[in-house]
Chain A
Amino acid sequence: SSTDGPKSAHFDICSKNLKYKFSENAFNTNILKRHSGQYYTLPPTHIQKLFPYGLPPRFQLQIKTFNEGCVMVRPPALELISYLKRADYSKPPLRYVLYGDIGTGKTMSLCHALHYCYSQGWLIVHVPDAHLWVKNCKELLPSSSRPSRFDQPIQASQWLKNFKITNERFLSKVQLERYVWTKRESTEKGQPLGELIDQGVNRMKSSSDVVGAVLRELRLQAGGATEGEGAFKLAVAVDGVNALWGKTSLKKEDRTMCEPEELTLIHNLRKMMKNNWSGGAILTALSQTGSVFKPRSAYLPSELLGEEGFDNMEPFVPVSVSNYNEKEFESCYLYYLDRNWLQHPHSRSEEGKKELIFLSNKNPSILERLCAFL
């Protein structure tokens, strides 16, 4: 069943019990538990809207090659979705931290949970990789509003464009307070959110401040208006959250190192991580691969977040992500066979499978890179 048919009310399970299509009741707990270890197909419209930038690059290549996006249902994502279902949204948001060794599937589990939030109609604030904001910035402007801060116009405007694509239906709903950008430009009270974002995208100079304003607005309005049309739940998803409290590799003009505190984007995102608002959830994942000045062997929250980060994030719900178990490995192997990806004749034999297990230690990313050239 490799053709994408219309969204049906019931789901198809292919003959090998391997894949099933996303549908309205795809996130029902019993159904998810039954399909643990199996793949489910993400509809292409959802991928375009929700994940133009959020998925890992190798997975994006895989979607392009196989002509479909399939995610494996794994225990960490199931845990996260069950917590999201049972949480009380009148109270301050819970912080969930996905941690694990390199290549075990933290970003994919985060994206799975985010897809759940999107299908339930939440407003998504997704920072695909916070590490991109603390390193390799070509333009670092001194902030227009505050003297000791630095702006990153390119990153901020890029993020605003992506936010616009994901949350199109919320652009007209949300109302604002008054913000003043320069002597001549200001956004009045009661204007829709879409105008604020356009302001940020068009005027690159103030885009970082616009990001801060957007986040503040969403924080204020997520919990309020529990009944009526304006109600929405806010999902804040940050990948590589340890970038917010680590060191940056950016330098100021006098050649001293920049602290993350001095960057507007990081400062505003830190405010988002505090739980002084209500009506949503904060989903985060740690990441060592993009981090600056952290050793490769560090994967625990205390090591990657550091003292300051841990104190700020505490209390949080840790969710551990590990390598595939045997059933999941089987499922991944069968999926690659089904998609005609494992071409080498030896890899299709029993001995070849044992070799793959030995070489990859059932680590998802290493297995993927191995099977790529076999």
Chain B
Amino acid sequence: MAASVRHLLKPWTPSLCLVRWSRYNPYYLDPDPSKDARVPESELSPEEKELQELKTVSPIKAALSSDTSSAFNDPLISKFINMMMQDGNKILARGIMTQTLETIKRKQVEKYHKSPAAKREEIECNPYTVFHQALENCKPIIGLASVQKGGKSYQVPVPLTDNRRRFLAMKWLITECRDNKHRRTHMYEKLSQELLAAFANEGNVVKRKHDLHKMAEANRAYAHYRWW
């Protein structure tokens, strides 16, 4: 029994070499650092019990040093920090992210305290909900892919996976803040302005998403060029 599992624990190469792959055999499970993972046995259905059994027996990949078991850990924020990072300087990227969240919170709480009691309920002070909602507002629903047919290449409207949509939203936010803003403002200031604008469905990133949607709508005729 143990001998048959040994070959799965060795370094592994996929048979078809893709752009991004890892040396872990797919037999390895992803680590789940959250404390809520431990639920008492009585509340689990038979499939979940099987999963739990599997987790006790199978090997698990090493956890990243940026994952914590605390409930303050947010995977979306971690992904955004990784995308903002340049030359592996995670400390700087994380610092910028925390300053951005702080700036968003300060602006909103200041607005909250200065407004009359009637309008206070509408102001969203939680920087995490602002970030999540702003990202949602920036995600495109449909994208364009370049397809070559008969010597000419056409922009064909194409559905996007969730990961691709999230990636595009984050990429647009970061490039917008890096390129199109005033040179002497700090990154956290630029990001907080752009996020608050996206939260209200205004700003350049949401405009870019709308432009993409319009292009896709305009190229509707070529939709049947897609074969996948």
Partner of A373, one of B105, B110, B112, B113: B105
Taking residues whose C-beta sits less than 8 angstroms from the other chain, chain B's interface range is 10 to 19
Whether A67 pairs with B113 at a CB distance below 8 angstroms is yes
Q: Does B18 make an interface contact (CB < 8 A)?
A: no
Q: Does B1 make an interface contact (CB < 8 A)?
A: no
Q: Which residues of A contact B70 (CB under 8 A)?
A: 346, 355
Q: Which residues of B contact A347 (CB under 8 A)?
A: 72
Q: Give the interface segment out of B81-89, B123-131, B168-176.
A: B123-131
Q: Which residues of A contact B114 (CB under 8 A)?
A: 67
Binary per-residue interface labels of chain B (108-135) against chain A in the complex, 1 for a CB within 8 Å, 0 otherwise: 0110111000000000011110000000
Q: How many A-B residue pairs have CB under 8 A?
A: 47
Whether A2 pairs with B113 at a CB distance below 8 angstroms is yes
A373-B127 in contact given A61-B106, A66-B113 (Cβ < 8 Å):
yes
Closest to B109 in A: A65
Partner of A67, one of B71, B110, B125, B127: B110
Q: Does B101 make an interface contact (CB < 8 A)?
A: yes
User: In the bound complex, what is the Cα–Cα distance between A344 and B72 (angstroms)?
Assistant: 8
User: In the bound complex, what is the Cα–Cα distance between A347 and B106 (angstroms)?
Assistant: 17
Q: Which residues of A contact B112 (CB under 8 A)?
A: 340
Binary per-residue interface labels of chain B (52-81) against chain A in the complex, 1 for a CB within 8 Å, 0 otherwise: 000000000000000000111000000000
Q: Which residues of B contact A352 (CB under 8 A)?
A: 71-72
Whether B109 pairs with A340 at a CB distance below 8 angstroms is yes
Residue count of chain A within 8 Å CB distance of chain B:
19
Q: Does A64 make an interface contact (CB < 8 A)?
A: yes
Q: Which residues of B contact A343 (CB under 8 A)?
A: 105, 125-128
Q: Does A220 make an interface contact (CB < 8 A)?
A: no
Q: Which of chain A's residues 348-374 have a Cβ closer than 8 Å to chain B?
A: 351-352, 355, 372-374
User: In the bound complex, what is the Cα–Cα distance between A373 and B96 (angstroms)?
Assistant: 11
Binary per-residue interface labels of chain A (261-289) against chain B in the complex, 1 for a CB within 8 Å, 0 otherwise: 00000000000000000000000000000
Whether B71 pairs with A346 at a CB distance below 8 angstroms is yes
Q: Which residues of A contact B109 (CB under 8 A)?
A: 65-66, 339-341
Tell me, rounded to whole Å, the shortest Cβ–Cβ distance linking B86 to chain A: 21
Q: Which residues of B contact A373 (CB under 8 A)?
A: 98-99, 101-102, 105, 127
Whether A351 pairs with B102 at a CB distance below 8 angstroms is no
Q: Which residues of A contact B98 (CB under 8 A)?
A: 372-373
Using CB atoms and an 8 Å cutoff, list the residues of chain B in contact with chain A: 70-72, 98-99, 101-102, 105-106, 109-110, 112-114, 125-128
